[in-house]
Amino acid sequence: MADYKEVLHERLYVKVPGGDKLRKTADARLKHLIAAGWRETDRFRRADHIELRLERSGHAPMQARMPRYVPEQKFERRRGGRPNFGGGGRGRR
């Protein structure tokens, strides 16, 4: 059986260009991903951001089932009569 592996490339911005300290949202995003089971495999430093390669292994997702074919229902139309104009009230005053 083949091993299932998810790969994610994430770009996290730093506070100061060329620095190491991440912005608040980027730091929280990284903590969330690590808590969710992602592992950091590569880190590439750029001028204003850090690119991360994250991996996670586990079971393969279930394949979606095709929906069953349901024959289209046919409705009979009524003939004649007065159309309902949505009133039903006492009319104008």
Size of the chain, expressed as the number of residues it contains: 93
pLDDT at 21 over 60: yes
In a domain, 16, yes or no: yes
Between 66 and 33, the higher pLDDT residue: 33
Contacts of residue 12, Cβ cutoff 8 Å, sequence gap at least 6: 22, 23, 26, 27, 29, 30, 49, 50, 51, 52
Contacts of residue 91, Cβ cutoff 8 Å, sequence gap at least 6: none
Domain that holds residue 11: 4-58
pLDDT, position 81? 61
- Percent with pLDDT over 90 in the chain: 51
pLDDT at 45 over 80: yes
In a domain, 84, yes or no: no
In a domain, 77, yes or no: no
pLDDT, position 23? 96
In a domain, 68, yes or no: no
How far apart (Å, rounded) are the C-alpha atoms in residues 21 and 48? 11
In a domain, 40, yes or no: yes
Domains held by the chain: number: 1
DSSP type of residue 47? S
Instruction: With cut-offs at 50, 70 and 90, classify the pLDDT of residue 65.
Output: confident
In a domain, 81, yes or no: no
pLDDT at 73 over 90: no
pLDDT, position 87? 61
How far apart (Å, rounded) are the C-alpha atoms in residues 65 and 46? 43
In a domain, 33, yes or no: yes
Tell me the pTM.
0.61
